[in-house]
Amino acid sequence: MSESALQIRPDVPAEMPVIAVKNAVIFPIPNLPIPLGVGRPRTMAAIEKAAAEDGVLLVATQQDPDDEKPGPDDLHRFGSVVRVLRLTRSMDGPDELLIEGVCRARVEQFAETDDHLRAVITPVADLNPPDAESHALLRTLKDLASKVIELSPRIPDEALSIVEGIDDAGHLTDLVASQLRIGLEEKQELLEVWDVKTRMNRVIAALAHEAAVLEISGRIRTEVRDSLDKHQREVYLREQLRAIRKELGDDDDAEDDLDELAERIGRAAMPEAADKAARRELRRVRRMNPQSAEANVARSYIDWLLDVPWNTITEDNLDVKAAAALLDADHYGLERVKRRITEYLAVRKLKGDMKGPILCLVGPPGVGKTSLGKSIANALGRNFVRISLGGVRDEAEIRGHRRTYIGSLPGRVVKGLKKAGSINPVFMLDEIDKLGADFRGDPSSALLEVLDPEQNDTFSDHYLEVPVDLSSVLFMATANRLDTIPGPLRDRMEIIEIPGYIQEEKREIARRHLLPRLLDDHGLDDGLVELTDDALEVVIDQYTREAGVRTLNRQLAAVLRSVARDIAMDEVEPPVRIDAERARKALGPQKFFPESKQDIATPGVAVGLAWTPVGGEILLIEATAMKGKAQLTLTGQLGEVMKESAHAAMSFIHARAEVLGIDESLFSERKIHLHLPSGAIPKDGPSAGITIVVALTSLLTRTPMRGNLAMTGELTLRGVVLPVGGIKEKVLAAARAGITEIVLPHHNMGDIEEIPAHLREEMTFYPVERIEDVIRIALGIDIPSPSAPIAVPAPDAATA
Q: Which residues are catalytic?
A: 687, 730
What's the rounded Cα separation, in Å, for the pair 264 and 262?
Answer: 5
In three-state secondary structure terms, 218 is helix
Strands 670-675 and 631-635: parallel
What's the rounded Cα separation, in Å, for the pair 626 and 223?
Answer: 94
Contacts of 230 by beta carbon, 8 Å cutoff, 6+ apart: none
What's the rounded Cα separation, in Å, for the pair 150 and 679?
Answer: 75
- DSSP string of 695-751? HHHHHHHT-PPPSSEEE--EE-TT-BEEP-S-HHHHHHHHHHTT--EEEEEGGGGGG
Instruction: Check whether the bond before 156 is cis (ω within 30° of 0).
Output: no
What's the rounded Cα separation, in Å, for the pair 50 and 65?
Answer: 24
- Calculate the CA 707 to chain-centre distance: 48
What's the rounded Cα separation, in Å, for the pair 145 and 163?
Answer: 8
- DSSP string of 344-382? HHHHHHHHS--PPPEEEEE--TTSSHHHHHHHHHHHHT-
| CA nearest to 453, candidates 425, 472, 468, 467 | 472
Please, what's the b/e burial string for 399-433 (b: 16 or more CB within 10 A of its CB; e: otherwise)?
Answer: bbbebeeeebbbbbbbbbbebbebbbbbbbbbbbb
- DSSP string of 112-136? E-SSSEEEEEEEEE-B---SHHHHH
Return the HEC string of 755-792: CCHHHHHHCEEEEECEHHHHHHHHHCCCCCCCCCCCCC
Return the HEC string of 168-194: CHHHHHHHHHHHCCCCHHHHHHHHCCC
Cα–Cα distances in angstroms (integers) from residue 748 to residues 174, 312, 709, 742, 761, in the given order: 91, 48, 17, 12, 17
Please compute, for residue 510, the number of CA atoms within 13 A of its CA located in the half-sphere on the CB side: 27
